[in-house]
Every structure is written in structure tokens, then in C-alpha cells.
A and B are shown apart, each in its own frame.
Chain A
Amino acid sequence: MDFAFSEEQEMLRRSTRDFLAKECGSKVVRKLMEQPDAYDPALWKKMAGLGWTSLGIPEQYGGAGTFLDLIVVLEECGRALLPGPFFATMGLAVPALIEAGTEAQKKEALGAIAEGKARATLAFTEPSGRWDASGVTLTAKPAAGGWRLDGVKQFVPDAEGADYMVVAARTRGEGEEGISLFLVKGRPKGMSVTQLQTLDMTRRWSEVRFDGVQVEGDALMGAADKGWAPLKRALEWGTASLCAEMVGGTQKVLEDSTEYAKTRQQFGKPIGIYQAVSHKLADMLVLSESGRSATYYAAWAVEADAPDRSLASSMAKAYVSDAYRKVAGDGIQVHGGIGFTWEHDMHLYFKRAKASEVTLGDATYHRELVAQSLDL
């Protein structure tokens, strides 16, 4: 057993951090978040050039690098608050394609993503905001040799510019039975995307309406009605990925707050000398480190396909959801008034923490899954 990243992965971390410091500093983040889709094609091209968009994708579809390599990069992306569809593409759409895609779909979509030529996302949640199978009510019915999609997907991350969208639809029954996945390309007739006014401006959510959208038969991913099992596995990949981003953000807030407490003087002393401040930072450290441990384990469990991959990802998301929100809030408190200003970056982390908290299920949802695993 070995609970550390390899030397190569640590090198990847350093080079990723250097790249993001140079290419995606606070100024860039703020510029991007003001733009309609928080996306910069030039930056995406550079990221693809570094191989980030091929991480975790099997070699036969143009991929290179492991899921754990992707985790390293995602952690750094979360630290830098990288805006845009990198998480939606690599954390949500890619695993859905790997788990459920047909050979042709994988070749085309995974190939295009790996090359940096396509962005993608997953349309799962609906206005109910639920992350379990029963939340899927958008219908897909056989029509004209293909399928007709009707319904509304809500809170879909980075849908605006997505070239591919994996859509979870109900083809029959209820609950985990009768869910089918479809790969929708571009913007077919009847599909409309409306951006929502989100708390976190660095990650856009949209409402995606399907009004009698006709797709071909080959849009179906895998077997009809059998979409939940692969989707669940894809969500586990996504959950570990999101947790990695969150851990990166948590660590950055901790570091910035610690630095501030060392330099900011009040009553003639750095505020970090006062235990009301230093003990808060110690608690932030405990949350940050524990979230990191839970996340790295979940990531390994997903990569190794360990029997507890589902439980491990739920444990990580439950812990990290609370931890990031708490640390980001305390980070504002440690900074005092300056931490509450628009000019300071603390609010960007606070908002990302809150948005990430509900994405892929909040702590309460995942704790319930853990409770079920305990036969409570």
C-alpha cells in the first residue's frame, strides 16, 4: 500500500500549478467569469496542448494518462478557480462516454475531446434538483427510427458551448429502472439552452429544454433502459473529480488566510498570534487535510475499481462539501472587511464552495447513502 502520488504525478502537479499561475491568475478568472460562457478558446487550446484533455481517456480513443493524473490536474484547477467547461467535460461527460458509449460514440466524442476539439457536459438534474435516479423524468420515446426527447434539464454545468451532451432520460418505469442515456450533438431542433444567474460566476449552469427533440437511433448510449448502472459509475468518477477541485480550493483558502494572519497586524501584533484566529486556522487545516485524505482515497477507489468506490466517493463528497464551505466562510472571517470586498478573491472561493456543495449531491444526500450502507 502506498498513500502518495508518484514522482511523475508530483511533477505534473508542479507544472500544472506553474501554468495556471501564469495563464489563469485572478485577473483572468475575473475576466472569464464576466464573459457569457466563462470560456477562453486560446486557454483551452493550451490546456489540450499540455495533454489535460486526454487524461483518463483510454488510449484507443486518443487518451493518455490515468484518472489519478486527471485528479492531480483537477485539484490544481480548483485551486486556481479555473472557469469554463474542463470539469464538465473531463469529470462528467468523459466517464459517461467511457461507461456507456458505443464504440462509435467513444471513437468520435472521446477522440474529439482528447484532441481538444470538443467540449462536453452531462445533463442529469431537473428542476427537482435531485441527484438520484428518481429525479430523471425527461422522457425519450421511440419515434421515426430514432428517439424523441421531451422535458427539462436544469443546473446543467457549462451547457452553453458544449459540443456533446450526455442526456439522462426516462424510457420506462421509475427509479433506477428504465433510464437511458443519449449522446446529443450540437443543438438539434427543439433544444434550447438558457443560462441561469448563478451564485458562482466561474461555473455556469443552464436550463436545457427538450421540446420534441428528434435524435437518431445511434444517439442511444449502450442498452435502452439500462443507463443507471453506467451512469452511477460515471457519477462516482465525477464526484471524486469534483472533490479534487474542492480540495484544491480549500487548500488555497487555508494558505491565503494563514498568510494574511501572519502579516496583518492589530494591537501591535500579527493577528495569527491570537488563538481566536489561530485555532480557527487549525480547524481549517484539519478539515482541509481530512477532505484531502477522503478524496485521494475515493479517487484511487474509482481508478482501481475497488468494491467500495461508491461508498468512498459518497464519504468524500459528504466530508468535502461541508469542509470547503466552512473553510471558505472562515477564510472571509479571518480576512475581516477586506475579505468581504469584491476586489478580494475570497468570495470567489466562497461561491465556488457553495456551488460545488450542491453539485452531484450535497452532504446530507451522501450521508444518507452512507447510512444505507450501514444498514441503518
Chain B
Amino acid sequence: MDFDLGEAEKTFRDEVRAWLKANAPKSDAAESDQVKLISNRRAWQKKLYEAGYVGITWPKEYGGRGGDFMDQLIFNDEMIVAQAPDPINVIGLGMGGPVVITHGTEEQKKRYLPPLLSAEEIWCQGFSEPNAGSDLSGLQTRAEDKGDHYLVNGQKVWTTLAHIAKWCMLLTRERTEANPRHGLTYLLVDMESPGVEVRPLVQITGDAEFNEIFFKDVKVPKSQVLGEPGEGWAVAMTTLLHERGTLGMALATRAQITAAELAEHTRKLGRGSDPLVRQKVAQYTIEARALQLNGYRALTAMKRNGIPGPEGSILKLMWSELNQRMAETAVDVAGAAGQVGETSGWKYQFLRSRANTIEAGTSEVLRNILAERVLGLPRSR
């Protein structure tokens, strides 16, 4: 056990720290204009990419840095120090890229990865449907084999970033089989294709960050199948492991930043003299740190196995519930003032965080995963 950095790692850390200090924009937690937020974060990712700090563990030939998980960890930690915003392409970086690297052909890797890294092409994830949420295998969006292409019809929902995305990771049903996990095909769909319609869904924040996507006779060339046709479930599971693992690591970073911002917010309001507030903020800080350390341990497992294990579900579960409590406390410590005005990013976060325990696997599904796949309890369904 050793948490000290080696010489090369220290050099990398110092380089990242200096670069972030010179280049990182201020925290955008208080930015409530979604259009502005998106364009800022797009520009920020491009800047990160040009400096070689996006796709740190991805292979060099596809635009990545070719580094190891340790480099990623150092970079994440420096993002905390700098309290820097996330890049825009969170879905692509956390899931799209890793799943293409795992299941994609050489041509696919070359085609999709570089523009994903530079934020030229944004990715979204088309899994959930009105009648297939936690029970994903119940999905009904059809992909019909038309020889050189698939014809896609159906509807997806709760799709983050769909309104600005170029590519959608679309899970479709090609055949109906006795086991609903069989016969699924995983497609990468160009969101600019004819027949794709994106309708914004106004959420409880008043913003439209999620969308519904309608597919009407959308032609998808067969070169855009990821993995084997009919074997989409396996590709989807890799996606979800990354969603909760790789993304989980990013969330662990995010939790540290949010905890630090909450402490600062509390200090500014002069609420640090209240013993109950002190206890809460300290508790969140501790939990955020425990979450980060869990991430370090999960990383040790990833180093060994290459893909995140089901323990990654711990990260997402902890982060989502912690984030809700932090956002609520942030609003509370400001009293009535916490609920008025456009300048308070916390007001937005307070509402937005309610989705955290639903998106990317509800807390209930994640607890099932931990109970069944980590503890080995009998399956509940």
C-alpha cells in the first residue's frame, strides 16, 4: 500500500496542475443558462483535448493519451484541486468511448473516437423507453434487417444531450426470443439521419436537458452495428459497467468538488458557527472522501481486470444520494434566500439532483446489483 506518487507521476501532476491553473475556467455551478453552459463546456473540452487531457487511458492511435489509470486518477484529483468544470461529452467519455474500445472494429475506433474526444461530436445513450426503464430487456424499439442496413422504428426517452448529440448508442430489438436478453442489436445511430426526431422534455428544473427521441424508418448502415447483431445485451452490459464504474470515478471526483464548494458556500454565508451545519458539512466531506477512496480501490480492480466490476455500483449509489443531501443542505443554509433568484446554482442543483438517484440505474436497481452480484443473494426476479 502506497499513496505516494513516483517521480514520473509527480512530474505529470505538476504539469497538469500548472496547466489547469492557467487554463481552467471558474466553476460553473452557478450557471443557470443551459445554452451557455453547454457551449462553455464544449469549448472547455476542446481545450482539454488539445492539451492531451481527454481520453487519458485511451490508445494514442485514436486520439487518446495512452496513459494508465494512475494518470487518469492524478488528472481527476487535479480537477478537484482546480475545482474545474466537467467536459461536455460526459456520456461519450464515460460510456461511448470505452464501449467502442471494447467492442468496436478497427474502422469504428478510428471513425468515432477522435471527434468524441475533441467534443466535435457529442454522444447520447438510447437505452430507456417509456415501457423499459429499470427492466431494460423489455425494450421495444425495432431494428429490421434490410440487407445492407437496419430500419429502426421506436422511441427512447430520458436521453441526456440528445438535442446536441451527433451519435446515439441505441439498443434495439432485432428478434423476439424466449429470453428477452437475446435478439438485441446495439447500433450507433447518426442523430442527423432522416426520421430522427428529438423532442425536449421539460424537467422539474424548468430546463430541457433530457429528451425523447422518435425513430421513424431510420436507416442505419450495418457498419454502425457495435458488436455482433443479436448480441446487443452484452454490449449494453459493458456500457452500464462503464456507466457506473468509469463514470463512477468521475462522480467520485465531482463529489469532492461539490463538498468543497458547499464548505465555501457555508463559510461565505457565515453559517459555519452553527454546530449542526458544521456536522453536516463535515459528514459530507468525509463521505465524499470515502467515495473517492472506494474509487481508488475499484481502480485497483480495474487495473487487474480491465473493466470495472459490479462494485462500481457502490460509487454511483453513494454519489447520487450524497449529492442530493449536499444540494439540499446548500439551499437550507441560505434560508429563504436559497430558494430565490437566478444566481444560485444550488437552487438548480437541489432540483437537478433528484434525478441522480433515477438516471444511470435507479438506487433500487443498484442495490439489487450489490445484493445479487456482490453479496450473492438470490435474484428477486
Which residues of A are at the interface with B, using a C-beta cutoff of 8 A? Answer: 1-6, 68, 258, 261-262, 269-270, 272-275, 278-279, 281-283, 285-286, 289-294, 296-297, 299-301, 304, 306, 315, 318-319, 364, 367-368, 370-371, 374-376
Contact = CB atoms under 8 A, between A and B. Distances in A.
A291 B275 CA distance: 24
B3 A371 contact: no
- Which of B9, B287, B293: most chain A CB closer than 10 A? B293
A351 B375 CA distance: 25
B271 to A, nearest CB: 8
A294 B287 CA distance: 9
B132 interface: no
Contacts of A290: 287, 290-291, 293-294, 314, 318
Contact of A371 (B282, B300, B376): B282
Given A3-B3, A3-B300, 9 more contacts: A4-B1, A272-B371, A281-B371, A285-B375, A300-B3, A301-B3, A319-B290, A374-B281, A376-B272
A253 to B, nearest CB: 13
B291 A1 contact: no
A2 B294 contact: no
A278 B263 contact: no
A315 B371 contact: no
B4 interface: yes
Interface residues of B, number: 49
A2 B371 contact: no
Nearest to B286: A315
A294 B2 contact: no
A376 B260 CA distance: 11
Which of A262, A294, A300 has most chain B Cβ within 10 Å? A294
A252 B366 CA distance: 23
When A and B form their complex, which 9 residue pairs have the shortest distance between CB atoms, in order from nearest?
A: A376-B272, A293-B293, A278-B371, A272-B377, A282-B367, A367-B282, A290-B290, A371-B278, A282-B370
26 contacts: A1-B5, A2-B1, A3-B293, A4-B1, A4-B300, A272-B377, A272-B378, A273-B377, A274-B380, A278-B371, A278-B372, A281-B371, A282-B371, A283-B367, A285-B374, A290-B293, A294-B286, A297-B3, A299-B1, A304-B3, A367-B283, A368-B279, A370-B285, A371-B281, A374-B263, A376-B277
A296 B3 CA distance: 11
A269 B9 CA distance: 52
Contact of A300 (B1, B9, B366): B1
Contacts of A2: 1-2, 300
B3 A318 contact: no
B259 to A, nearest CB: 9
B111 interface: no
A364 B279 CA distance: 7
Of B282, B318, B379, the most chain A CB neighbours within 10 A belong to: B282
A339 B175 CA distance: 50
B73 interface: yes
A297 B293 contact: yes
B183 to A, nearest CB: 28
Nearest to A370: B282
A376 B3 contact: no
B1 A5 contact: yes
Interface string B349-381: 000000000000000101110111011111110
Contacts of A269: 378
Given A262-B377, A290-B318, A6 B371 contact: no
A375 B267 contact: yes
B367 A293 contact: no
Contacts, number: 155
Contacts of A293: 290, 293-294, 296-297
B299 A3 contact: yes
Contacts of B372: 278
A318 B293 CA distance: 15
Residue picked from B368, B370, B371, B376, most chain A C-beta under 10 Å: B371
A3 B1 CA distance: 5
A375 B287 CA distance: 18
Contacts of A258: 375-377
Contacts of B374: 285
B272 A281 contact: no
B364 A279 contact: yes
A5 B364 CA distance: 32
A294 to B, nearest CB: 5
Nearest to B317: A286
Contact of B282 (A282, A300, A306, A318): A318
A301 B277 CA distance: 28
B266 A289 contact: no
B10 to A, nearest CB: 11
Nearest to A68: B1
Nearest to B296: A3
Interface string B84-106: 00000000000000000000000
B325 to A, nearest CB: 14
Interface string B280-321: 011101110111011011011000000000010010011000
Nearest to A299: B1
Given A2-B1, A273-B379, A297-B3, A279 B371 contact: yes
Contact of A1 (B4, B266, B290): B4
A306 B3 contact: yes
Nearest to B74: A1
Nearest to A261: B377
Nearest to A291: B290
A353 to B, nearest CB: 18
Given A318-B283, A319-B290, A278 B380 contact: yes
B334 interface: no
B70 interface: yes
A368 B283 CA distance: 9
Given A290-B291, A293-B290, A278 B377 contact: yes
Contacts of B4: 1, 304
A239 to B, nearest CB: 14
Task: Name, among A3, A262, A306, A370, the residue most crowded by chain B CB atoms within 10 Å (CB to CB).
Answer: A3
Interface string B251-281: 0000000000001001100001001011101
Contacts of B266: 376
Contacts of A272: 371, 377-378
Nearest to A297: B293
B367 to A, nearest CB: 4
Contacts of B2: 1-2, 300, 304
A306 B289 CA distance: 16
A43 to B, nearest CB: 29
Nearest to B379: A273
